[in-house]
Structure 1
Amino acid sequence: MSSNKRKNLNQMEVDANNDESSSSDDDDDDEPHPDAYRGNEEVQVDFEGRAPVDPDAQGISQLLQRLFLRAHINCNQMADLLIAQNYVGSVICQCEDDAESETDDDNMAEDGTVFGITSVLNLSTKKDQPSISQLRTFLLERAQSNATKEVQQRMRDLLDNEEHHIGFLINERFINIPAQISVPLLQNLQQEIDAAKAKKMKFTFDTLLLLVKFHRTEAKKGKESEDHYTNAEDELLSERAKFSFEYSVASECDSGMAGDWLEGDAVMTPYRKLLALDAKQLPKLINDIQKYINGE
């Protein structure tokens, strides 16, 4: 999607009390409670998807920091990589009125907030980039500490295989934006990937890796544990993954965010899960997400 080509996403109801857009670098490692932004007051907001531009860098970086928390990954440099490939990927922004939309594209994000990003990075061709090298190391270390021996080997095989490229799929957004917004963004991403491949750009992936966020209500008093995904579509994707592994991030969050929230008398602990998805199945997965979100 070019910087001047925008897609008006469905009108969404959001909590007017949401204060995430005002968060600073000091609290980038905060992991919001899944119900943190549910309030009694709702406002109607129009969102649009557009190509990322330079002024989006800080907002993209903050979204990435919320995903990776205290991992040693240069989120600022990764944000720059995402912006540089503006022919693939979209950010979510609030729609401007007609007068504002006629302004220069380079200035359109100057005073705005990035509410989300959907994109993909090639972990194979960009492996020498600092942030990608750090991400590859991070994923292998997490697998070593949390995955089965079989999954550890599959991760090593994926990252060592130079013939079959791996894409790191990014699908991050503010927690109070409904899952319906993911469908047009992922559809647009698929179209842009296809267009890039037609131009012989290196976006032919064998596997897509997606890191998702969820909270777990731990088993207690005869009740089984229950997972609550931050993005609703991630629950379906978790079921369709070729393989996955998960890890708790309670120790990486601030003390007020370290898994001591209660749902009734149950503690909710923040987790991350890495999914390995078949890249060729992405169009079908998008269709399945649409049906899943619509309750079909």
Structure 2
Amino acid sequence: MSAKKRKNLNKMEIDANEEDSSSSDDDDDVEDGTHPDAYRGNEEVQVDFEGRAPIDPDGEGISQLLQRLFLRAHINCNQMADLLIAQNYVGSVICQCEDEGAESETDDDGMVEDGTIFGITSVLNLTAKKEQPSVIQLRSYLLERAQKHAPKEVQQELHELLENATRHVGLIINERFINIPAQISVPLLQNLHEEIVAAKAKKMKFDFGTYLMLVKLYRKEAKKGKPAEDTYTNAEEELIAERAKLSFEYSVAGECDSGMAGDWLEGDAVLTPYRKVLIFEAEQLPQLINDIKGYINGE
């Protein structure tokens, strides 16, 4: 989508009681991205969202979303946000729709002025951009985490993927505020796939062989004979995790800010924040999107 072309994603009624209480009720905005204006107490608020291509004023909002994903990792999120914006032919940000009949505020170039960025769905070519500072940092981060937390075969596979110059690896970024329902992911991922196909047809560097994703989840630790239970911040990512070719995970409880340090409590249950790295074949993406649609609709 061009910066001027907008897609109304859906009209969603946000009810705090219907959200994932295990990961949102008492969590800090820095970690989860909860937007305080999206709901007020138990009041149901209807919010309209739309997707559009990222533009320069979105840089700060995109960077903040990336920081929630990477936490204290030494990754230049501002520079990564600039890379995502520069490829304005692929990827979308989530914005709140303007009121009907209201005049749009634009700058001298006709672009919509800066507003809150509620999410981003995009892809970054880790192979073609391997010399960029933020990508160098990300690659090191992934390999270091794999060395500490992944089985040997996963470590080896990840290293080979990141070092293979001929089979390009794309990092899919699928970040949004926690109180935005999973239904929004379907049009965003569909649009991303269509844009990747169009970019490939134009011989741009979006011919991926493999995708990586870094996703957020909370774990209710095993207790009194009950097994551990995982709750994904973005519900659709649970299905992607189930279908991933390879994956590994690690706790980030020690990487959160002061208000987020340690564990969380849900009643008498402990909730611990994790990150999971997913690896899957690029050819799986269309079917995954269809499966996500059915998964969300309860089919």
TM-score normalised to structure 1 length: 0.91
Matched, 1:78 2:56: no
What residue ranges of structure 2 are gaps of 5+ in the alignment? 17-27
Following superposition, the deviation at residue 281 of structure 1 comes to 1.1
The answer to whether the Cα contact below 8 Å between 2:244 and 2:280 also exists between their aligned partners in 1 is yes
Show the 5 A alignment for 1:144-159: 144-159=147-162
User: Which sits farther off after the overlay, 276-285 or 62-71?
Assistant: 276-285
Residue matched to 1:196: 199
**RMSD between aligned residues:** 2.2
Residue matched to 2:246: 243
User: Which sits farther off after the overlay, 74-83 or 248-257?
Assistant: 248-257
What residue ranges of structure 1 are gaps of 5+ in the alignment? 17-27
Distance, in Å, in 2 between the alignment partners of 1:59 and 1:277 is 28
Matched, 1:208 2:211: yes
Residue matched to 1:139: 142
Following superposition, the deviation at residue 254 of structure 1 comes to 2.3
The answer to whether the Cα contact below 8 Å between 1:190 and 1:283 also exists between their aligned partners in 2 is yes
1:196 is paired with a residue of what secondary structure?
A: helix
Residue matched to 1:6: 6
The answer to whether the Cα contact below 8 Å between 2:98 and 2:104 also exists between their aligned partners in 1 is yes
Residue matched to 2:46: 44
Matched, 1:177 2:180: yes
Distance, in Å, in 1 between the alignment partners of 2:250 and 2:233 is 15
1:10 is paired with a residue of what secondary structure?
A: strand
The answer to whether the Cα contact below 8 Å between 2:32 and 2:68 also exists between their aligned partners in 1 is no
2:259 is paired with a residue of what secondary structure?
A: helix
1:11-62 residue CA offsets vs partner (Å, 9 max, x unmatched) = 012368xxxxxxxxxxx9932399x988411211110000000110000000
Following superposition, the deviation at residue 102 of structure 1 comes to 7.5
Following superposition, the deviation at residue 96 of structure 1 comes to 1.3
The answer to whether the Cα contact below 8 Å between 1:29 and 1:69 also exists between their aligned partners in 2 is no
The answer to whether the Cα contact below 8 Å between 2:253 and 2:260 also exists between their aligned partners in 1 is yes
Q: How many pairs does the alignment contain?
A: 285
Residue matched to 1:88: 90
Distance, in Å, in 1 between the alignment partners of 2:57 and 2:14 is 24
Residue matched to 2:267: 264
1:205-256 residue CA offsets vs partner (Å, 9 max, x unmatched) = 1110000000000001111000000000010000000000000000001243
Sequence identity, in percent?
76
Following superposition, the deviation at residue 261 of structure 1 comes to 1.8
Following superposition, the deviation at residue 75 of structure 1 comes to 0.2
Distance, in Å, in 1 between the alignment partners of 2:29 and 2:76 is 14
Q: 2:286 aligns with which of 279, 283, 287?
A: 283
The answer to whether the Cα contact below 8 Å between 2:125 and 2:171 also exists between their aligned partners in 1 is yes
Equivalent position amino acid for 1:182 in 2: S
Q: 1:229 aligns with which of 222, 229, 232?
A: 232
Distance, in Å, in 1 between the alignment partners of 2:192 and 2:103 is 26
TM-score normalised to structure 2 length: 0.90
Following superposition, the deviation at residue 106 of structure 1 comes to 5.2
The answer to whether the Cα contact below 8 Å between 2:33 and 2:176 also exists between their aligned partners in 1 is no
Residue matched to 1:125: 128
For residues 268 and 102 of structure 1, do their structure 2 counterparts lie closer, same or farther at Cα, with a shift above 3 Å needed?
Answer: closer
2:88 is paired with a residue of what secondary structure?
A: coil
